[in-house]
Structure 1
Amino acid sequence: MLLIKPLLAFRPNKMDWIFATKTFVAGMLALYVAFSLNLAYPIWAIGTVFVIANPYSGMTSSKSIYRILGTLLGAIASVVVTPLLMNTPWLFTCFLAAWVGFCLYISLLDRTPRSYVSMLAGYTAVIICYNIIYYADTVSIFDMAIGRFLEITVGVVCSAIVSTTIFPLHIGPAVETRVSKTIQDTNALFDQILLDQKQLHHYNQLLGNITRDTSDIHTMAVHLSYEKSSLQGMTKPLQEMLHQLTVLVANLVAMSERMKQLDQIDLTYRTSLKAIHTHIAEFLKDGHEIKPQELNLLPNQFESDFDALVASARPEQVIILNGLKMDIRHFIQNVRAVKLIWQRIQQGDDSLPESMSPLTTTYPSLHRDHGVAVRGGISAFIIIMISTAFWILSGWKAGFMLAEMAAISACILTAMDNPVPALKIFIRANIYAAVMVFIYAYGVFPHVTTFWELVLVLAPFIICCLMLFPHPPLTGLGLPLLMGTIMGLNLHNNYSLDQIAFFDASIGSLIGLIISVYVIHIVRAMSPDITVQRILAMHYKAVRKALYLPYGTEFKQHLRSMLDRIGVLNGKAAVQSQRLNKEIHLALIETSAVIDLTRLQELIEKLPEQASIVSSIENLQQSLDDYFRAKEMQRPHTDILQNLLHSLAVVQSATDEVENSDIAQRLKISLNNICSSLCHQNTVNGAKQKTLAVS
């Protein structure tokens, strides 16, 4: 049975009842207005209400606007193209398939809620065009497009009125709670990393969870401009704060890696570290308002505390401790940057301090998978070509429903790694919907004569389906079951149901879904292991790119995208391969050290051009490039790693000849971090010994 266990365990709460009742009222209002205006297809008005339904008013409003824009673009495309290509069916089919494929490609690249615009523009054009062909003798092209736009608009307006006036639930407080929790989590992890030796090796998964949470909040923040809450209009500064927050993740990972190195040598340093932690914790918990000019302040005892720590440590720990000091200093400064932006947001100030370079761009620096987008677009193209060809060649009058449903199902779930299981649930839900249509049409509607009676008989079924919406495991059942029933009933002012047309449409819809399932299974679907391999390849490519980026805004944006990619990786379904699980774990560690790659380039520019160490560093950069290129291409890299470790050892030896002690120390710190976090070796000296032993 379909989702039988989750359904039996489901217990709607108060908020579920409020959401379902509000949405039902909005749907009935949209249906009544559509009846009153005598629109051709009132089902699109009520269906729109259910498609955009969300417990949060901001999400409902934003999706409403995106749906109107997407419908408008699809309607314009259909009006422009249909008169030109209507008499050349195969060329027309190719154009529509290419249009949907392109729109889906753009949609899959945009990981914000705006992606709904381009996806809807794609399959809306197909729906309008195929309806125009089906009803060519009775409806004009322009009237069909305008009618569809008006029906969608009625649903959107009714939904907005109800969601914003009856017990509105704003997303602002939810975002505020998530942000506060994430900030608390980073502070708690800082405390644990410095104090809790036993749990040090388990922090990377928790840090990965924070990157996933920040990616989720980044998406939620888009909706803040569409509601009246305390955070209204704060999308850009909030996303900027999230950029800064993700940098904290890199700081925390770097600290944990340095401490793992230190623990392997000697644990005595931890006694002095507790006093350092106490001073830092008191400094960070200071509730006073942070001023922009105080952004880079450190605790008064910071330098003296670390001087005492380094003086009491073993000689082989000194470089690592200096690296830890640098990571902790950056952590403190980034925490204060996050607090300053959050402080301003809560005061209603959407500006950034002048000293802070904004990382937010018009095209946000987030992970984007062009391969998945291309395969999604190709699968949509093939699905529409096959389904429409079936309609054309068979001459089946109801084939247009087959082609429409194939186009819709080709788009709506393609963002998933493997949409096939969800599409199978979609198919079953449509079968159950056909049964519900039959019951209503032949068992209930013959006794319904007024609108209020219609409302009364629809209420139990619709409200029950709507209560499933806020619960992700059950949404895949509730939405297609409800939409399949509403669309199948095809409510009109003068209601009648043609039995032959009903069965034809039901069968056609199922065939269209089956075509989508098979094509997506062959072209688009990927196992979690394959998905993770592809994302890891992009991660290794991003590490290589960091080798040649100067430290600055461009690098920070690049680091932001890398950390977002880690969040995506941690949000994937569990993979079967232990090797891949280990590489996911190591990817976060590697990301924390990419800043040391930019420091290599920075230090080269500060060294004399003729110095022999410059060529040694350039050889090291090339070895790093070769190593991560081999990992990206999934080629054997054991020999390349040995060459890389040799290059590291050569540069390490050459640092003793650098006259500038500050540059020499910074170079030693970066070499240690690269060896530990990118090559996953204990120390540079250890790597050197290992290399000599091999040679």
Structure 2
Amino acid sequence: MRISADQMVFSVKLFTAAMIAFAIAVHVGLPNPYWALVTCCVCMNPLSGAIRSKVVYRFTGTFCAGIVTLCLVAIFASTPLLLIAAAGVVATISFGFSFLDRSPRSYGFQLFSITLMLVAVAGVDHPETMFDTVVGRVTEISLGILSTTVVDAVIAPRSLTGTLRSSIHRWLSSMENWARDILDGHEADTKGEHDRLRTLADIASLSQLISTLRYDPVVSRSDLRHAVAIQQRLLRMVPLLSAIGSRINSLGEAEHQALRPSLAVARAWLDVGAEPAPGFVDDVRALPIDGGSGAAWQQLVHDTLAGMLRDMLTQWSEVRRLEASLDGKATLDPALKEQLSASRTLPLVPDVDHAGRMAAGIMVTYALLCTFWYLTGWHQGATAVLLSTVALAFFGGSDEPGKAIAMFGRFAVLALTLAGLLSYGLLPLANDFPSFAWAMGMFMIPLGAWAAVNPMATLVLAFGLSNINLQGHYTPFDFGTFLETGLASLFGVFAAFLGAGLFRRWGVQHQLQRFLRKEAIDIARLSRSANPALRDSYIQRALDRIAGMTMRLSATGQVERSAGLLARLRVGANVADLRMVGKALPLAARAATTSVLDQFRAEFDAPQPSSQLLRLIDDALTRLWSARDASGDIPDRAIHALAGLRIALFERAPAWEHTR
């Protein structure tokens, strides 16, 4: 394997920080100096922002766990079983929060739980030394954090600012191509639809990256605000583009030809990134339409398209101005500048059901292993308990936890093998610090270069260095003890493999079904009750779910389902609009829209919508169309919602015909 210059720089930084932290820890007489060294291994990252965010979460989680440990010991010091039970409950709750928080901040909750088990559970037989252990661990972790941060700041720090800007330019290029294809009348094939969703997923990924970017010393607050504002507007464009494309495709060839001049004008506005002229909407609405029974449908589609095109072009104009401001090519007008501070990233919706099932699996596995530990009196039982919870917390939440935990086990075996070579082959040759550094370099530098491109190599480093008796004066474990510790670790990993399936099913396909089921339930709820806040919240959740489903569709070879995901989003938005305006309709019209929503709710989970639902939508359109002139704007909004629902559910159905 060829090692690049970036990999070697990263490895040297990691090794330098680790040796400095270990040397200082030994010099000041800290009880477990290897904790400082291991901290450097897990906190070092090729990007400075990732390092700084991780060290904040690691210190916060460790410090808070130390405080909670001392409180639990003060209460349960005389009853070890209650201490173990209380520590398990608190740690499980924290693990549950780590699954709810989908940002890098979840690492803080994970470290809280791990530290609690490492200190309170492993030291349950010696509560009198718990205070010294907590102080020592917090100090050693802090030393490793300080060393990592300083070394990264001095030796080739790397920022995400270039990645952020290139990502934004990539998003804009993809979104512009998407908009152009729609305005030019090009229908995307299966792969094209999936590529559009990949763009959506790429844009949505900023929400997970933002907590790291905030700690990047080079990325300014202004750049972050611009990036968030751009993300917000691009995500607003997604349902608009999907709706515009569906409406254009619903027109016949003659109607499409009549619409072409307005679409060409919209394309020109898109190319220059300017807002459309004030008369643009009226021009689209005034397009000539054919007479006959289908005239009402054509007019309805034109009216809806006019507003959507205006909204889409307005969002795009703001995006272009934000991009120019981010690149320093222009200044923002006061109105848009004022909106920057109010911009928010796409919320990362917590999966409460998933978090609850994972927490239950961790709790039961913990209880079973602690019971086994108690009944057998195995003095390495605490090691098995710790490794099982670590494996479940870090790898059990994936779509395929069995594969992930099995991979963790294989890397654990590799780590133990290399740790044995280091412990019994290299370190016994060291009799001073230079020779110690040489021995550690033989172990750490190659693995550090690997860790720069494979995060699992970090596991090998951290896990290997945690399983040797690396103190100020090195004395290797008795080989039997080393083997027993390794056996306990692997036993814990095996228990985690079994525990991962206690309360959840495995597989990407199952996750796709869960997402689709949650989407259907959300839309059914909107059919009962809706307001603008619930509608916006639904759209945010739906966009987040679509982003999460996109890569899973690729993994399972089901990219043909991509086209239906945005159609579902349009269904939900139109159902919410119909429910919101339905209450203000005249009695007869309200009854017609209520019948549509009742029928929709009755079959919301059906594979295909029924012809009865189509008939009810058409009847409601006819009734509302007849009443629109006498009742003002409310029927218009309901008509547009019904038309959008009809197109989303019955895209290939014949056009609605108004019958008097």
For normalisation by structure 2, the TM-score amounts to 0.90
> Given the alignment, which residue of 459, 463, 482 partners 2:441?
459
**Which of 438, 452, 463 is matched with 1:484 structurally?**
463
Say yes or no: does 1:406 pair with 2:360: no
**Which residues of 2 match residues 30-69 of structure 1 at below 5 A?**
30-69=21-60
The Cα of 1:375 is off from its aligned counterpart by 0.9
Superposed CA offset, 1:104-158 (max 9, x none): 111111111111111221121011113323555xx61100111111111111111
The residue aligned with 1:676 is 647
Amino acid in structure 1 at the alignment position of 2:508: P
Equivalent residue number for residue 357 of structure 2? 375
Check the 8 A contact 2:248/2:256 in 1, yes or no.
no
**Does the residue aligned with 2:473 lie in a helix, a strand or coil?**
coil
- SS of 1:685's partner is coil
Q: CA deviation at 1:276?
A: 2.1
Query: How far, CA to CA, are the matches of 2:189 and 2:177 in structure 1?
Result: 13
Matches within 5 A, 1:488-527: 488-499=467-478, 500-527=480-507
Q: 1:455 to 1:310 in 2, by over 3 A?
A: farther
Quote how far apart the aligned CAs of 1:576 are. Answer: 4.9
What residue in structure 2 maps to residue 281 of structure 1? 270
Q: Which residue of 2 aligns with 1:125?
A: 116
- Contact 2:553-2:561 at 8 Å conserved across structures: no
Hey, what does 1:291 align to over in structure 2? none
Is the CA contact (8 Å cut-off) linking 2:570 and 2:644 kept in structure 1?
Answer: no
Could you say what secondary structure the match of 2:56 adopts?
A: helix
Per the alignment, residue 318 of structure 1 pairs with 299
1:265 CA drift (Å)? 7.2
Give runs of aligned pairs for residues 179-194 of structure 1, distance below 5 A. 179-194=168-183
Q: Describe the superposition over 1:146-198 as per-residue Cα deviations: whole angstroms up to 9, x where unpaired.
A: 11111111111111111222111112221222122112211121012222525
1:127, 1:404 within 8 Å by CA — same for their partners in 2?
yes
Aligned to 1:109: 100
What is the match of residue 559 of structure 1?
539
In the alignment, which residue of structure 1 is the partner of 2:620? 651
Contact 1:82–1:129, Cα closer than 8 Å, also in 2: yes
Shift of 1:465: 1.9
Give the conservation status (yes or no) of the 8 Å contact 2:247–2:301: yes
Give the superposition deviation at 1:378: 0.7
1:393 partnered with 2:378: no
State how far apart, in whole Å, the 2-side matches of 1:569 and 1:50 are: 33
Q: Find the aligned partners of 1:521 and 1:351 in 2 and give their Cα distance.
A: 53
What pairs up with 1:286-365 in 2 under 5 angstroms?
297-299=275-277, 302-303=280-281, 305-307=283-285, 309-311=287-289, 315=295, 316-342=297-323, 358=342, 360=344, 365=347
Confirm or deny: 8 A CA contact 1:434 1:485 kept in the other structure: yes
Count of residue pairs the alignment pairs up: 650
Cα distance between partner residues in 2 of 1:507 and 1:626:
56
Distance of 1:520 and 1:165 partners within structure 2? 42
Using the alignment, how far apart are the partners of 1:656 and 1:333 within structure 2?
A: 29
Give the gaps of 5 or more residues in structure 2: none
Contact 1:179 1:217 (C-alpha < 8 Å) held by counterparts? no
SS of the equivalent of 1:572 reads helix
1: CA distance, partners of 2:509 / 2:546: 15
Structure 1 residue 492 displacement after superposition? 0.8
Alpha carbons 1:20, 1:467 under 8 Å: kept: yes
Q: Give the aligned residue type for 1:419.
A: P
CA distance in 1, matches of 2:364, 2:404: 20
Do 1:126 and 1:404's aligned partners in 2 also have CA atoms closer than 8 Å?
A: yes
Counterparts of 1:31 and 1:11 in 2: how far apart (Å)? 30
Determine the C-alpha separation between the residues in 2 that align with 1:84 and 1:602.
54
Assess if the C-alpha contact under 8 Å between 1:45 and 1:152 holds in 2.
Answer: yes
The equivalent of 1:613 in structure 2 is: 589
| CA distance in 2: counterparts of 1:455 and 1:37, whole angstroms | 18
The one-letter amino acid paired with 1:160 is T
Judge conservation of contact 1:98–1:381 (CA < 8 Å) in 2.
Answer: yes
Instruction: Give a deviation string over 1:538-585, Cα, whole Å, max 9, x none.
Output: 11122234446666455334312221111011132646596xx65554
- Separation in structure 1 between the aligned mates of residue 370 and residue 2 of structure 2, nearest angstrom: 43
Q: Which residue of 1 aligns with 2:510?
A: 530
Following TM superposition, by how much is the alpha carbon of 1:409 offset from its aligned partner in structure 2, in angstroms? Answer: 1.6
Which is further off, 526-535 or 264-273? 264-273
Contact 1:57 1:168 in 2 (8 A): yes
Check conservation: 1:433, 1:485, Cα contact below 8 A. yes
- Return closer, same or farther for 1:238/1:222 CA change in 2, 3 Å cut-off: farther
**CA 1:656–1:304: 2 relative to 1, 3 Å:** closer
Amino acid at match of 2:623: A
Report the CA distance between 1:304 and its aligned residue.
Answer: 6.0
Is 1:624 matched up with 2:593? no
- CA 1:99–1:585 in structure 2 vs 1: closer, same or farther (change >3 Å)? farther
2:53 equivalent to 1:84: no
Is this contact kept in 2: 1:247–1:560, CA < 8 A? no
Give 1:358 deviation, angstroms: 4.0
Letter of the 2:596 partner, please give it.
L
Structure 1 residues 200, 326: closer, same or farther in 2, change over 3 A? farther
C-alpha displacement at 1:273, in angstroms? 5.0
1:178 is aligned to 2:167: yes
Q: How far apart, CA to CA, are the structure 2 residues paired with 1:258 and 1:667? A: 17
Q: 1:368 to 1:99 in 2, by over 3 A?
A: same
3-state SS in 1 of match to 2:316: helix
1:645-684 Cα offsets, whole Å, 9 max, x none, are 2321220120232142765554433222101214555356
The amino acid across from 2:465 in the alignment is I
CA contact (8 A) 1:22 1:163 kept: yes
Structure 2 vs 1, CA of residues 481 and 116 (structure 1 numbering), >3 Å: closer, same or farther? Answer: same
Q: Which runs of 5+ in 1 are unaligned?
A: 1-9, 287-296, 690-695
Q: Which residue number corresponds to residue 587 of structure 1? A: 565
**Alignment deviations for residues 506-553 of structure 1 (CA, whole Å, 9 cap, x no partner):** 111111111111111333452111111111111112223444666645
Shift in CA distance, 300/12, structure 1 to aligned 2, threshold 3 Å: farther
Aligned residue type for 2:656: N
- Provide the residue aligned with 1:692 in structure 2: none
Query: Do 2:65 and 2:113's aligned partners in 1 also have CA atoms closer than 8 Å?
Result: yes
Query: Which of 404, 409, 412 is 1:430 aligned to?
Result: 412
Aligned to 1:14: 5
Structure 2 CA distance, aligned partners of 1:310 and 1:593? 29
Q: Which residue of 2 aligns with 1:290?
A: none
Q: What does residue 572 of structure 1 align with?
A: 552
Cα distance in 2 for residues equivalent to 1:573 and 1:491: 46
**CA apart distance, 1:606:** 5.1
Confirm or deny that 1:448 pairs with 2:430: yes
State the partner residue of 1:149: 138
Deviation at 1:491, TM superposition (A): 1.1
- 1:322 Cα deviation after fit: 2.8
In 1, Cα distance between equivalents of 2:256 and 2:181: 16
After TM superposition, give the deviation of residue 448 of structure 1 in Å. Answer: 0.8
Residue 269 of structure 1, CA deviation: 4.0
Cα distance change of structure 1 residues 577 and 188 upon mapping to structure 2, 3 Å threshold: closer
